[in-house]
A and B are shown apart, each in its own frame.
Chain A
């Protein structure tokens, strides 16, 4: 069982917006603004899409945005494109001995 809870799957049509949630506790998501989001295509390494809750690394499309409320962080993808179909993982710094915890991952299907 992963430390952070994500929905197993979400789907949307091209052009639509979707949101993926990531729920933790006050020891991780709720306690720090150190939430990151990763995109992973099959057989590839993860790619950082969002860090520190809402910051985008250089080169990441502004269609990707992040937010946080309490113990739940969210990733929103607007203007869905076929290439967005992938697995998405959230992570957070944690005050536990684990230091970094990941969510179980969400499979995004673009219909």
Chain B
């Protein structure tokens, strides 16, 4: 079965760090465009980051310099390292696979989401 399973969310203080994981099954992470998308409570979707199959990475301006996307090919797992967390980073974080031939934001496989709460 093709699926993504996230883990690693939780409660963290402002300025703290957290690493999210996204384990894939049924397909190969390194052969696809893989992204993180977040959704603040009661709000809409916000694109966070992408890692291309070739390894290039890109970030939303709101997280640039604080978040790092990576992958472990041996574990078929995607990661999001989040540092210097702020209250406005509080959201459900989803990992997602792009089904396009190019990176186009057509996310056909989503994880179940993991909640990150930044609060003192």
Q: Which residues of A contact B (CB under 8 A)?
A: 2, 32, 34, 36, 38, 45-48, 51-52, 57, 89, 91-93, 97-105
Give the residues from 49 to 70 in chain B that come closer than 8 angstroms, CB to CB, to chain A.
Answer: 50, 58, 60-61
A48 and chain B: residue at smallest CB distance = B108
Contact A101 B47 (CB under 8 A): yes
Question: Measured between C-beta atoms, what is the minimum distance from B80 to chain A in Å?
Answer: 16
CB-CB under 8 A from A36, the residues of chain B are 104-107
Q: When chains A and B are docked, how far (Å) is the Cα of A45 from the Cα of B47?
A: 14
Q: How many residues of B contact A (CB 8 A)?
A: 23
Question: Measured between C-beta atoms, what is the minimum distance from A57 to chain B in Å?
Answer: 6
Q: When chains A and B are docked, how far (Å) is the Cα of A37 from the Cα of B102?
A: 17
Contact A97 B100 (CB under 8 A): no
Q: Which residues of B contact A (CB under 8 A)?
A: 35, 44-47, 50, 58, 60-61, 94, 99-100, 102-108, 110-113
Contact A93 B103 (CB under 8 A): yes
Taking A45-B112, A91-B105 as contacts, is the C-beta distance between A51 and B45 under 8 angstroms? no
A96 and chain B: residue at smallest CB distance = B61
Contact A93 B45 (CB under 8 A): no
Q: When chains A and B are docked, how far (Å) is the Cα of A32 from the Cα of B102?
A: 12
Contact A34 B113 (CB under 8 A): no
CB-CB under 8 A from A57, the residues of chain B are 99, 108
Contact B105 A92 (CB under 8 A): yes
CB-CB under 8 A from A103, the residues of chain B are 44
Give the residue among A34, A92, A104 with the most B Cβ atoms within 10 A. Answer: A34
Which of B35, B44, B99, B100 makes the CB contact (< 8 A) with A105? B44
B112 and chain A: residue at smallest CB distance = A45
CB-CB under 8 A from B110, the residues of chain A are 45-47
Which of A34, A47, A99, A105 makes the CB contact (< 8 A) with B45? A105
Q: When chains A and B are docked, how far (Å) is the Cα of A48 from the Cα of B96?
A: 11
Q: Which 6 A-B pairs have the closest CB atoms?
A: A100-B105, A51-B106, A34-B104, A45-B110, A100-B47, A102-B45
Question: Measured between C-beta atoms, what is the minimum distance from B39 to chain A in Å?
Answer: 9
Contact B105 A2 (CB under 8 A): no
Contact A46 B106 (CB under 8 A): no
